[in-house]
Amino acid sequence: MNNEGNFSMKKAFEADTGRVLNIVINSLYSEKEIFLRELISNSSDALDKRRFLSLTDKNDNVGTDDLKIEIQASKKDSTLIIKDNGVGMSKEELEKSLGTIAKSGTTEFLAELEKNSGKDKKKKDVNLIGQFGVGFYSAFMVADKVEVVSKGVGQTKANKWESDGISGYEISEANKEEVGTEITLHIKKSEKEYLDKERIGFITRKYSDHLMYSVNFIDGKNEPELLNKASAIWTREKKDISAEQYEEFYKQIGAGFNKPLLTLHNKVEGTLSYINLLFIPDSRPFDLFQMDVKSKIKLYSNRVLITDDSESILPRWLRFVKGIVDTSDVDLNVSREMLQHNVTLNKISKALKKRVINELKKMKDKDQEKYSSFWNEFGIVLKEGIYEDFDLKTELLELSKFQSMNGDKLVFLSDYIEKMNTEQKDIYYLAAENKEMAEGSPHLEVFKKKKLDVLFLTDPIDTFWLSMAGEFQDRKFVSITKGDIDLTAFSDDKKEKEKKPPAGMKGLVEKIKEILGENVQDVKVSTKLVDSACCLVAPDTGMDVQMERIMKIQNKDFKGMPRILEINPDHNIIKKLNKIKDTDKDALNDASFLLFDQAKMVEGELPNDIAKFNQRMSKFLGIALS
Ligand code: ADP
Ligand code: MG
């Protein structure tokens, strides 16, 4: 029971919440002022939600002009109050929203924070706070006690949540007439500057000038004073908005922290009418590769927020794009479930995808350095689109960069094609786990010798789109680890052109095949190997080696198809084996397996039977050293 006689309950923070809180409070002293941005942006979100309700639900009809935020400061009591008449929270919501940081990614957040060190540490920490949506807790940077009194729309009772930010929190019944939320910060002695009207005005303008709602300052003595412009920035003309203003808005909506890499602000009128203000951030958010992360564009209908959780505006492969879309063509009353199937939205979505692609194209042509930095951050996500949005395959392939055998720099497909041998028709690629693995592949030997470049496709997503994309500008993608590739056309050497596989190898090939049995589909004499004794090739009809590996990772039972072992007839080992094939059965047997296991290992796989591999290896070493 608290002293008003109401039922109240005390609860400890969840373990992770406590840890996060501790970090928030103690390691962010360089930019404490952001607490105000976080609280104001929460109020703005709550006002957005109420505005939507009042326009769609007859039970709550608050006028748009009445929706507002107030800040009250009392130096006498050392309190700062942030008050809004947004949707408010019920008791359960208070507990759920403020009692836990029940967000996915909390663990990653902690790991990330603990990892960071050095000069940029603080900056990074502040950036992370916003990313993880622990915004509200930033209040504890400046307050030693926080009280949140809130009343939800349609509720008769209000509740109070209070906490010192250390041990836990307490919820009790409270008195509040109006729907909305009132947050009282008991400002720490050391942080009195945040009771100062000038300071508050400055911070509000800095971060929240373009909020749609007015923020008034009230000190009880003077008239309320409007602190911000209160006009939705996207509705204004481009020419009236400065780079700094875009940047502030970008930060305010949590799109990023430094400067946006690209800002797309367009007003479209005609059969479709909408405004988009989209940003591509300059660096990856922490959760870019989390499975459940979707694109999150805020969708407004005439400045009323409909949803900020819709995949219907941009696809997942553009999830790095942040911002807002405002259209009068979508009815407010459309249910959120139906947004996916909304014809107008689908059209807008299509247009936006094209727009983003076009802007990236422009950047690619105009500013290579900038494009490179974009590609390094988000290229791997953009490539998902080749697979997911097949219509856009060509445009996306044009924007894609790849590693290649002939250099350290990433290349566009157009670069590759431009430098192709005049006789070359196909795009050669090697899919591998990473560049180092690719470089060690025996499959490359003949390409090096013939001076043909090979693309290294090292992202897991590559194997997926490759299985569908097939070609680019009428050039087929050909895996060099698959089937027979005829390279005789590229030889200047007449003798080589006429060279036939040496006849004397037939017996050896057959014997090795018999020894390896079902481990291989076939054994062949290679026309491609130069330095290595052997390699494994996927059959023409089979899966690319790397694709098979990915399948194996995803499905433990996946066996894959046996591959073809190619042997190099010019290699010393093979020549020697050919000599002893009829006289030393044991040696041939062991050597065949050793060669096969070697070929597997160079593809990044383990020998079939590690114990046997070891035995054979020791045996051979013993002989070699004796
Ligand atoms: P985020 O804003 O990223 O969700 P916060 O920590 O800033 O994370 O806020 C947590 C949650 O608390 C919000 O999602 C919202 O549900 C609730 N909340 C915070 N402030 C308010 C407010 N003024 N009015 C209504 N709900 C609020
Ligand atoms: Mg927030």
**Ligand 1 and 46: CB distance under 6 A:** yes
Closest residue by CA, ligand 1 atom 11:
97
Q: What is the pLDDT of residue 4?
A: 45
Q: What is the pLDDT of residue 501?
A: 59
More reliable by pLDDT, 6 or 259:
259
**Ligand 1 and 44: CB distance under 6 A:** no
Residue 159 and residue 174 in contact, taking contact as beta carbons nearer than 8 Å: yes
Note the pLDDT tens digit of each residue in 168-213.
Answer: 899 999 999 999 999 999 999 999 999 999 999 999 887 777 788 9
**Ligand 1 and 84: CB distance under 6 A:** yes
Cα 604 to ligand 2 centre (Å):
46
With a cut of 80, say whether residue 298 has pLDDT above it.
Answer: yes
Note the pLDDT tens digit of each residue in 389-443.
Answer: 989 999 999 999 999 999 899 999 999 999 998 889 999 999 888 898 899 899 9
Reported as a pLDDT band with limits 50, 70 and 90, residue 102 is: very low
Ligand showing the shortest atom-to-Cα distance for residue 87: 1
More reliable by pLDDT, 108 or 263:
263
Q: What is the pLDDT of residue 463?
A: 82
**Ligand 1 and 378: CB distance under 6 A:** no
Cα 46 to ligand 1 centre (Å):
8
What average pLDDT does the chain have?
A: 86
Q: What is the pLDDT of residue 351?
A: 95
Q: Which of 147-151, 231-235, 489-493 is predicted most confidently?
A: 147-151
Q: What is the pLDDT of residue 21?
A: 72
Note the pLDDT tens digit of each residue in 505-550.
Answer: 889 999 999 999 999 999 999 888 889 999 998 877 767 777 777 7
**Ligand 1 and 17: CB distance under 6 A:** no
3-class DSSP state of 596:
helix
Closest residue by CA, ligand 1 atom 1:
133
Closest residue by CA, ligand 1 atom 18:
42
Closest residue by CA, ligand 1 atom 9:
136
Closest residue by CA, ligand 1 atom 20:
42
* Cβ count within 10 A of residue 86: 28
With a cut of 80, say whether residue 85 has pLDDT above it.
Answer: yes
More reliable by pLDDT, 55 or 565:
565
**Ligand 1 and 97: CB distance under 6 A:** yes
The mean pLDDT of 80-89, rounded to a whole number, is 97
Reported as a pLDDT band with limits 50, 70 and 90, residue 122 is: low
Beta bridge partners of 455: 404, 429
With a cut of 80, say whether residue 489 has pLDDT above it.
Answer: no
CA 444 to CA 442: how far, in whole Å? 5
Q: What is the pLDDT of residue 552?
A: 77
Atom of ligand 1 nearest to the CA of 133: 3
The mean pLDDT of 69-96, rounded to a whole number, is 95
Q: Would you list the DSSP string of 386-407?
A: HHH-GGGHHHHHHH-EEEETTE
Residue 566 and residue 528 in contact, taking contact as beta carbons nearer than 8 Å: yes
Ligand showing the shortest atom-to-Cα distance for residue 46: 1
**Ligand 1 and 385: CB distance under 6 A:** no
Residue 26 and residue 136 in contact, taking contact as beta carbons nearer than 8 Å: no
Cα 314 to ligand 1 centre (Å):
25
The CA-based dihedral angle spanning residues 456, 462, 464, 465, taken in that order and rounded to the nearest 10 degrees: -100
Closest residue by CA, ligand 1 atom 27:
42
Note the pLDDT tens digit of each residue in 444-486.
Answer: 998 998 899 999 999 888 888 887 768 899 999 998 988 777 7
Q: Is the pTM of this model over 0.95?
A: no
The mean pLDDT of 327-331, rounded to a whole number, is 85
**Ligand 1 and 43: CB distance under 6 A:** yes
With a cut of 70, say whether residue 24 has pLDDT above it.
Answer: no
Share of the chain above pLDDT 90, in %: 52
Pocket test for ligand 1, best of 95, 97, 137, 182 (most atoms within 8 A of CB): 97
Reported as a pLDDT band with limits 50, 70 and 90, residue 326 is: very high
With a cut of 90, say whether residue 16 has pLDDT above it.
Answer: no
More reliable by pLDDT, 152 or 390:
152
CA 70 to CA 580: how far, in whole Å? 92
Reported as a pLDDT band with limits 50, 70 and 90, residue 602 is: confident
Q: What is the DSSP letter of 276?
A: E
Reported as a pLDDT band with limits 50, 70 and 90, residue 119 is: very low
Residue 297 and residue 141 in contact, taking contact as beta carbons nearer than 8 Å: no
With a cut of 90, say whether residue 367 has pLDDT above it.
Answer: yes
Q: What is the pLDDT of residue 104?
A: 47
Atom of ligand 1 nearest to the CA of 101: 6
β pairing state of 534-537 and 563-567: antiparallel
